[in-house]
Amino acid sequence: SYEVTQPPSVSVSPGQTASIICSGDKLGDKYVSWYQQKPGQSPVVVIYQDTKRPSGIPERFSGSNSGNTATLTISGTQALDEAAYYCQAWDSSVIFGGGTKLTVL
C-alpha cells in the first residue's frame, strides 16, 4: 500500500523559514494537502491541492510538490505556528503522513 513519510520533528527560530517535507513514491503525481493541529484541537487545512491556501490562512504558509517530495514552507515563523503538521494524499484511499511536530525555539 502507498505510504508517505514525514520527519517526526522540525525546529525553527522565530522569524526564520520552516520547511516540512512529505516523501512518497512519485508523490509529485498526486495532490497533497497539509493540516495544522495544535494540542487539544482539531486539524485545520493550511494548504490544499499542493499550493492553494484557504481563506483565512496567512500568506506565510506555502506549499510545493515535485518528484517524490512535497514541502510545506512557513516563512517568518511565529510562535503561534508551533503545532503538528500532517500531509495528506490519495492513492487507493486517503493517506496521511505520520505528522511533524514543529517547535519554534
Partner 1 sequence: QVQLQESGPGLVKPSQTLSLTCTVSGVSTSSGDYFWSWIRQSPGKGLEWIGYIYYSGGADYNPSLRSRVTISVETSKNQFSLKLSSVTAADTAVYYCARATSTSRASRYFDLWGRGTLVAVSS
* Spatial contact of 10 and 74, defined as CB atoms under 8 Å apart: no
57 binds partner 1 (CB under 8 A): no
Which residue from 72, 97, 102, 104 is in contact with partner 1, where contact means CB under 8 A? 97
C-alpha cell at 67: 518528484
Which residue from 42, 56, 59, 79 is in contact with partner 1, where contact means CB under 8 A? 42
Burial class for 72, CB neighbours closer than 10 Å (0-12, 13-18, 19+): buried
Cβ closest to partner 1, residue 31 vs residue 73:
31
Cβ closest to partner 1, residue 59 vs residue 92:
92
Rounded-to-integer distance, Cα 39 and Cα 59, Å: 23
| x-marked contacts with partner 1 along 60-89 as a string, rule CB under 8 A | --------------------------x-x-
- Provide, rounded to whole angstroms, the least separation between the CB of residue 13 and partner 1: 26
Positions in the binding site for partner 1 (CB under 8 A): 1, 30-31, 33, 35, 42-45, 48-49, 54, 86, 88, 90, 92-99
